[in-house]
Chains A and B, each alone.
Chain A
Amino acid sequence: MTSGKPPLVSDADPKSESARVVGTDVAFAQLRNAQSMATDSIPSLAFSEFRLAIVNAPRQHRRIAALFGASVANQVKLYCVLAGDSEGLLYVGSAVVDGGSFASMTDDCLQANLFEREIAEEWGIVPEGHPWLKPVRFVRARRANAEGQRKLPESQSGIRAMEFYRVEGEEVHEVAVGPVHAGVIEPGHFRFQCHGEQVLHLEISLGYQHRGVERALLTSPARRALPYMETVAGDTTIGHASAYCQAIEALAASRVSGRAYALRAIALELERLANHVGGLGALANDVGYLPTASFCGRLRGDFLNLTAALCGSRFGRGFVRPGGVGFDVSTDECKNLMDRLDAAQRDVKNAVNLLWETPSVQARFEGTGALSQQSAEELGLVGVAARACGLERDVRHDFPSGFFRLTQIPMSVAQTGDVFARAYVRWLEIQRSYAFIREQLQRLPSGAILSTCSRPQPNRFCVSLIEGWRGEICHVAMTDSEGRFASYKIVDPSFHNWTGLAIALRNQQISDFPLCNKSFDLSYCGHDL
């Protein structure tokens, strides 16, 4: 076990850990991933202090993992979770918004951009001075606020194309795509400002997939919670279900067996394998290299079928449950899984290596959609997209929880930030996830797979991070005085990364959009919730 990382099951009183940070920055409370703390021990700051802490965070190599509003005693209170990747620590603070507006942070900290727009839309309060205040999902505000409604009338009147950032000039033209696209994919609207073939600016407008998950978690019967989590982003069923269960277990102070943790980790890496293999196939398709596209289309299914062998569902529905996992594997089944995994991996290696050996593929991958490390850091990107720019960020490594406290997977990083780098990071992760699963199947801890998970304790707060295949999944749960959810915030990695795609497209050929889009491989429903 690495020193400084929390043990597998922590008996320590979380309160003692949540000491206030002393230093030049403002006092946010410290906590670790999947650890709960009393809600009233979260510092409630003056807004100016709260704002300063967030604005200064990037200078201290901390980034915004979540920034959201919650209704506290008829007021809107903002909560912010900052992630210190190199420290392995999370920082949390809060501030009440007085009246109908607050001073926007976006100009001083780009990462706040979408979060502030989301807060404005949901709570009817206005981030004064926000450079581009528009709805994020076109939802009705949870709380009526006359000033907010006057300044944000768009949210109230349903989704539609609205004013987009425009570039004007001779021969500048605009291209509108979506919400219904040509392929079998989810809906979203993309608005390009072009000069000839060159994209000067791309604006992405989503919200078409909004189903009201976060709101429903507070009002629907508890038995619906798991299906919601499994369908937040269906291709990340294991990732989001794991983040939810981890949060519930922390709030309830329940224990999970080592065997269940190991099986969750195996399922998480199988999900990564299936999606990365499918993604590389789709990238091959987008550059017209059909052999790999065709082979990987089949191989992705082979990995999904391994998940189906675990639990009957190709997407892992019903596998991760509060208190452990729903299905066990016998020694014979482990052997069988391993044989099938080996066979699939052999073919994946063969199919993917064709990409790196084919000059016409490399010519299309290299230099396309490049994002600088500085941009990636400023935008607070996570996951594959961040690692492809040379940022060392991986929840499994920085904020290990569950089985990753015992076993590490080497972090996969590339430097060039282009389509090639994003593809290559995925290839490295395929190999490392394969090796990890193989190793764990050979030495699964013994024990029960499911223990009773008690009810969440009242007035607790918990941040639960999981490295899904796209990147950091962040769930922030708060309970009320009866142990029900008072607030539940979901931040899919796509929420951070869509802006990265928009910036990567600048000065690219518009015909490279599908390739760039696929290389980020982001979720629409995970963003829209």
Chain B
Amino acid sequence: MIKEVLARIQQGHRTSRYPLEAPNLPDRFRGAPALDPSRCSDTCNQCVEACPTDALRVEGTRIALDMGRCLFCTECMTACEAGAVTLTKEYRLAARHREDLVVTQGYEPRRKALDEKTRRLFGRSLKLRQVSAGGCNACEADVNVLGTLVFDLGRFGIQMVASPRHADGILVTGPVTENMSLALRKTYDAVPSPKIVIAVGACAISGGPYIDHGEVKNGVDSMLPVDLYVPGCPPHPFTILDGLLGLLDRLGESASSRQARVDAV
């Protein structure tokens, strides 16, 4: 026992202070894109041609990047000599609606909380069943890591549970392979209503690199209604955590409103 206690002392306290403090991301972190269409020339199509997943579209001098397809791979940045496409260090990428993932210029976080009724149900306790439906184990790993002491998902009242019958919703990774679609459907059906669906990663949102393969269904919303999209390939754990907390309105606003109430007393 003494060895464990000594080890515990050596290992130290490692839980991040997020959301009170901003997360410490690597210098080379590739987050939300920022587009500057004023640098585009009429005839240039290089970013579009470089993109492995057709996430970029150019219409005249307008460019649009769909983060739901984006692998954050920098091919477009490298291809664009004018510097119209850059990837910023912004990690807050999650959105409630598919169309909110499309960036046309600069980027501002677009998360929105669940409606008040659902939030009252799940706001302080959200149990999720994770389903990997063709995921490559990168999204799965970075969802799993939220359970470690660094992120300590449990302190926010969110927990991954073993059975869909104990869950308030499902968190899906992978492009939804044909071979997993029945199991995904059955898992969803086994979750008691009301329930939510969260799609994590480019594959789960759009099919990612596997878009339009006959073996996959191009993401979760081809068969289930999705309440939260978390882009990335894979999304950083803080991107996923930000999405979950935003959904439950547990970021910023609630802390300040609480302070206002404290002050009022």
Q: Judge whether B213 and A211 touch: CB under 8 Å.
A: yes
B27-67: CB near A (< 8 Å → 1, else 0) gives: 11110000000000000000000111100000000000000
Which residues of B are found within 8 Å of A315, using beta-carbon distances? 138, 141, 234
Give the docked Cα–Cα distance between A216 and B52 (Å): 13
Give the docked Cα–Cα distance between A312 and B187 (Å): 34
| B160 close to A (CB within 8 Å) | yes
* Most chain A CB atoms below 10 A, which of B72, B74, B143, B215: B215
Give the docked Cα–Cα distance between A210 and B180 (Å): 9
Which residues of B are found within 8 Å of A183, using beta-carbon distances? 144, 162
A470-488: CB near B (< 8 Å → 1, else 0) gives: 0000000000000000000
Which residues of A are found within 8 Å of B53, using beta-carbon distances? 224, 227
Give the docked Cα–Cα distance between A138 and B177 (Å): 12
Using a Cβ–Cβ cut-off of 8 Å, how many residues does chain B contribute to the interface with A?
65
Chain B residue at minimum C-beta to C-beta distance from A179: B183
Q: Which of A381-410 contact B (CB under 8 A)?
A: none
B178-218: CB near A (< 8 Å → 1, else 0) gives: 11101100010000000000000001000011100111100
Q: Judge whether B183 and A227 touch: CB under 8 Å.
A: no
Which residues of A are found within 8 Å of B177, using beta-carbon distances? 208-211
Given A208-B183, A231-B208, A291-B4: A308 touches B28 (CB 8 Å cut-off): yes
Q: Judge whether B179 and A297 touch: CB under 8 Å.
A: no
Given A223-B50, A525-B136, A525-B137: A187 touches B183 (CB 8 Å cut-off): yes
| B163 close to A (CB within 8 Å) | yes
Which residues of A are found within 8 Å of B236, using beta-carbon distances? 314
Q: Which of B125-144 contact A (CB under 8 A)?
A: 130-144
Main secondary structure of the interface of A (DSSP, over half): loop
Q: Judge whether A234 and B52 touch: CB under 8 Å.
A: no
Q: Judge whether B178 and A182 touch: CB under 8 Å.
A: no
Given A216-B213, A235-B141, A311-B28: A209 touches B7 (CB 8 Å cut-off): no
Stretch at the interface among B8-16, B221-229, B242-250: B8-16
Give the docked Cα–Cα distance between A237 and B136 (Å): 10
Q: Judge whether A297 and B135 touch: CB under 8 Å.
A: no
Which residues of B are found within 8 Å of A223, using beta-carbon distances? 50-52, 75
| A94 close to B (CB within 8 Å) | no
Q: Judge whether B179 and A210 touch: CB under 8 Å.
A: yes
| A14 close to B (CB within 8 Å) | no
* Most chain B CB atoms below 10 A, which of A139, A186, A294: A186
Q: Which of A172-211 contact B (CB under 8 A)?
A: 179-180, 182-187, 207-211
Q: Judge whether B233 and A301 touch: CB under 8 Å.
A: no
Chain B residue at minimum C-beta to C-beta distance from A138: B179
Instruction: Tell me the minimal C-beta distance from A81 to chain B in angstroms.
Output: 25
Instruction: Tell me the minimal C-beta distance from A481 to chain B in angstroms.
Output: 26
| B255 close to A (CB within 8 Å) | no
Q: Judge whether B145 and A297 touch: CB under 8 Å.
A: yes
Give the docked Cα–Cα distance between A385 and B26 (Å): 34
Give the docked Cα–Cα distance between A315 and B142 (Å): 10
Which residues of B are found within 8 Å of A528, using beta-carbon distances? 179
Q: Which of A230-252 contact B (CB under 8 A)?
A: 231-235, 237
* Most chain A CB atoms below 10 A, which of B50, B136, B215: B136
Instruction: Tell me the minimal C-beta distance from A217 to chain B in angstroms.
Output: 11
Q: Which of B89-146 contact A (CB under 8 A)?
A: 130-145
Which residues of A are found within 8 Å of B142, using beta-carbon distances? 314
Which residues of B are found within 8 Å of A210, using beta-carbon distances? 134, 177-179, 215
Give the docked Cα–Cα distance between A209 and B135 (Å): 7
Instruction: Tell me the minimal C-beta distance from B240 to chain A in angstroms.
Output: 12
Chain A residue at minimum C-beta to C-beta distance from B6: A350
Which residues of A are found within 8 Å of B27, using beta-carbon distances? 309
Given A208-B177, A318-B74, A347-B10: A231 touches B214 (CB 8 Å cut-off): no
* Most chain B CB atoms below 10 A, which of A209, A317, A523: A209
Which residues of B are found within 8 Å of A261, using beta-carbon distances? none
Chain B residue at minimum C-beta to C-beta distance from A525: B136
Given A180-B131, A525-B136: A139 touches B215 (CB 8 Å cut-off): yes
Give the docked Cα–Cα distance between A179 and B132 (Å): 10
| A425 close to B (CB within 8 Å) | no
Which residues of A are found within 8 Å of B213, using beta-carbon distances? 211-212, 216
| A370 close to B (CB within 8 Å) | no
Q: Judge whether A291 and B215 touch: CB under 8 Å.
A: no
| A159 close to B (CB within 8 Å) | yes
Chain A residue at minimum C-beta to C-beta distance from B164: A180
Known: A183-B162, A216-B213, A295-B7. 5 other contacts (CB 8 A): A184-B130, A208-B134, A209-B135, A210-B177, A358-B3
Q: Which residues of A contact B (CB under 8 A)?
A: 137-140, 158-159, 179-180, 182-187, 207-212, 216, 221, 223-224, 226-228, 231-235, 237, 278, 291, 294-295, 297-298, 300-301, 305, 308-315, 317-318, 326-327, 347, 350-351, 354, 357-358, 523-525, 528
Offer 11 A-B interface pairs, CB within 8 angstroms, sorted by A: A183-B162, A187-B180, A208-B180, A223-B51, A227-B71, A227-B209, A231-B203, A235-B137, A291-B4, A350-B10, A351-B7
